[in-house]
């Protein structure tokens, strides 16, 4: 069980896409629990609006698995998110999918995590090369 420590407050952002509400419920539950440790909010991804990561310590992305991948909206978002913004964040991913073994349904979370790690590491590589 997590025990809140008041001296170290965090700012968490959960960005999600949801088709039937399951992913939304999970994102909101995560935000409610993390709110015990600081500011936490769940934000449904809207491609028309920029997601601001400044001031965020913990960044969580979630969506349904569709065809072994994240939703198109989340895929686009992950391509556009700034490597510089990701560099200092703690990042986690989750997905929702049919009740099938992962090898049969795929995992959007695994794909999202891979993209985020590659984007964050690109930033680190550039910074080391230029210093």
Domain membership flag for residue 116: yes
Which bin fits 21, alpha (ψ -120 to 50), beta or left (φ > 0)? left
In whole angstroms, what is the distance from residue 13 CA to residue 76 CA? 18
Structure tokens belonging to residue 69: 């991948």
pLDDT in tens, the chain (131 residues): 555 555 567 899 999 999 899 999 999 999 999 999 999 999 999 988 989 898 999 999 999 999 889 999 999 999 988 888 888 888 999 999 877 666 667 889 999 999 988 877 654 333 333 33
Does residue 39 lie in a domain region? yes
6 found inside a domain: no
DSSP code, position 50? P
Specify if 58 maps to a domain: yes
pLDDT computed for residue 1 by the predictor: 53
Determine the structural domain holding residue 16 and report its residue range.
11-130
Q: Would you say residue 46 lies in a domain?
A: yes
- Rounded Cα distance between 65 and 105, Å, is 8
Q: How many domains does the chain have?
A: 1
Whether residue 4 is contained in a domain is answered as no
For residue 5, tell me if it sits in a domain: no
Which positions ≥6 away from 41 have C-beta within 8 Å?
12, 13, 14, 31
- Assessment of whether the complete model's pTM goes beyond 0.85: no
Residue 31's domain is classified under what CATH number?
Answer: 3.40.50.360
């Amino acid at each position: 069980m997590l025990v809140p420590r008041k001296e170290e407050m965090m700012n968490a952002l959960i960005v999600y896409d949801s088709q039937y509400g399951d992913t939304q419920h999970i994102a909101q539950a995560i935000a409610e629990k993390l709110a015990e440790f600081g500011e936490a909010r769940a934000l449904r991804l809207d491609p028309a609006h920029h997601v601001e990561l400044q001031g965020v310590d913990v960044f969580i992305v979630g969506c349904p698995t569709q065809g072994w991948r994240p939703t198109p909206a989340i895929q686009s978002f992950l391509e556009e998110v700034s490597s510089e913004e990701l560099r200092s964040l703690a990042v986690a991913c989750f997905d929702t999918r049919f009740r099938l073994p992962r090898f049969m349904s795929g995992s959007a979370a695994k794909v999202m995590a891979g993209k985020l790690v590659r984007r964050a590491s690109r930033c680190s590589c550039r910074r080391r090369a230029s210093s």
